[in-house]
Structure 1
Amino acid sequence: MSRKNETKEAIIEAALYLFQIKGYHATSVRDISNRAGVNSATISYYFKNKNGLLEYCFTSFLEEYLQLIENHLETIQSCDPAACLKSLVKEILLFQRKNYLAAKFVYSEISFDSSLNREILSTYWTKEKFYLQALMETGIQKGVFRSMSLPIFILQLKGLMSAPLLHAQYSMEVLYQFPQEEYFTMKYLEELYEFIDRNIIDAPKEFPLVLAGEEVVL
């Protein structure tokens, strides 16, 4: 990574950390620059202002997230829909773990009513719904998934995938489960596979899950 990109990433990481600890409005540009080890002018150079930095945190995360889903849909017609859905769920959980701070921040902030959030709901989340619905409809047409209320299933699936991030403090301090750890991610993935098998697959199929170098058949 170039020094320019390293500086930019340091600013983003500092901002995400402080936004969650202090809140967006209580965090100043100076707070961010101090934690990132840069001067305030550097933040202005990359993002113009704090609001520009906030928008970048949202859009960069969501664009990469949507690209991940779109990549899976490119092969949906030629692969088993159940395997495709489970593979997608796994990739999303791994993506969230890799981008833990960003995912935790985005999912928590999106619940607030703001002009930025409304814009994100009408663009990024609408695209996500379109992609997930297309995947589910293909599975139903092929006879792999049973008929169901797609909006309700998508809401349930999203809720399950985002729960460890939305309730991260509860998970860590009450349940002693740490969402940012690989072991938790893989064990949680097993439960999501079972949810899919129980709720939408007419005849559950075996699907391999690699955990600690061993293949576990679900």
Structure 2
Amino acid sequence: MSKETKEKMLDAAMRLFHTQGYHGTSVRHIAEKANVNVALVSYYFGGKKGLFEQLMTQFLEGYMSVMSDVKKQEGCSRDKLLDTLRALLSYQQSFHHLARMVHREMALDSVLVREIMSTYLRKEKHDFEQLLREGVRAGEFRRQQLDYVLFQIKSMLTMPYLYPQYLRELYQLMPTEPYFVKKYMEHLTKWVDLFLCGKDMSSTKARLFVPVS
């Protein structure tokens, strides 16, 4: 099987899982959308479940790679946290169909989800926790109960790509458009400076934020 044919099946599966959900998608649907023989899906991926698991793993491997790349950069904890948030939002925007599929699946209880939590999501939590602790030790961040801070960060990262229709319909925001990450990062910068760093935001100067490039 050519790499191109494999990518066609992965792309078809991703789009169908995104719009119809896992249970609403059949192997035949995937084969028809990819314009391949239905037997190829089962032969090369072991069926719909294998395709789904590969897409989940592919997305999360890329997600963790982004975190790892930012972690290696030099800089203070505040800047590294903001760089990480920006990079992860941009990554999800680039693969927004996959992002929504993965986040939606994570709301369910399954063997696959438990495996993902014990590997990828536990590593994500550890890396954010380590970054926050370094910031506290360096005096950049205020001491707080980290568990609550961590799930606030996770929620802010996940929400735009789990509920894009909600943002479009109620707030006229388009998480898939290039402007979104830039504008959202302006808010997240303010949140980090006020909530984590404890900066005084009452002055006019403090309220004026330079857009994040």
TM-score, normalized by length of structure 2? Answer: 0.89
Secondary structure of 1:108's aligned partner: helix
Matched AA of 1:140: V
| Equivalent position to 1:191, from 187, 190, 194 | 187
The 1-side partners of 2:157 and 2:40 are apart by 35
Moved more, 84-93 or 36-45: 36-45
Matched AA of 1:116: L
Counterpart in the other structure of 1:214: none
The 1-side partners of 2:72 and 2:101 are apart by 29
- Preserved contact between residue 78 and residue 135 of structure 2 (Cα < 8 Å): yes
Counterpart in the other structure of 1:56: 54
Counterpart in the other structure of 1:4: 2
Q: CA deviation at 1:45?
A: 4.0
Counterpart in the other structure of 1:129: 125
Secondary structure of 2:171's aligned partner: coil
Q: CA deviation at 1:82?
A: 0.6
Q: CA deviation at 1:197?
A: 1.1
The 1-side partners of 2:169 and 2:4 are apart by 32
The 1-side partners of 2:36 and 2:171 are apart by 37
- Preserved contact between residue 18 and residue 32 of structure 1 (Cα < 8 Å): yes
Segments of 5+ residues of structure 1 without an aligned counterpart are 211-218
Matched AA of 1:31: H
- 1:138 to 2:134 alignment: yes
- Preserved contact between residue 70 and residue 80 of structure 2 (Cα < 8 Å): yes
Q: CA deviation at 1:173?
A: 2.4
- Preserved contact between residue 175 and residue 181 of structure 2 (Cα < 8 Å): yes
Give 1:52-201 correspondences, 5 Å limit.
52-75=50-73, 78-201=74-197
Q: CA deviation at 1:119?
A: 1.1
Secondary structure of 2:108's aligned partner: coil
- Preserved contact between residue 178 and residue 184 of structure 1 (Cα < 8 Å): yes
TM-score, normalized by length of structure 1? Answer: 0.87
Counterpart in the other structure of 2:18: 20
Q: CA deviation at 1:208?
A: 6.7
Secondary structure of 1:209's aligned partner: coil
Q: CA deviation at 1:16?
A: 1.8
Segments of 5+ residues of structure 2 without an aligned counterpart are 201-205
Structure 1's consecutive aligned runs of 4 or more residues displaced over 4 angstroms after TM superposition are 203-208
Q: Taking every aligned residue pair, what percent have the same amino acid on both sides?
A: 36
- Preserved contact between residue 83 and residue 207 of structure 1 (Cα < 8 Å): no
Moved more, 128-137 or 166-175: 166-175
| C-alpha RMSD of the superposition | 2.0
Matched AA of 1:180: T
Moved more, 37-46 or 112-121: 37-46
- Preserved contact between residue 144 and residue 203 of structure 1 (Cα < 8 Å): no
Secondary structure of 1:199's aligned partner: helix
Change (3 A) 1:139 1:73: same
Q: CA deviation at 1:207?
A: 7.6
The 2-side partners of 1:208 and 1:184 are apart by 12
Q: CA deviation at 1:58?
A: 0.8
The 1-side partners of 2:11 and 2:169 are apart by 23
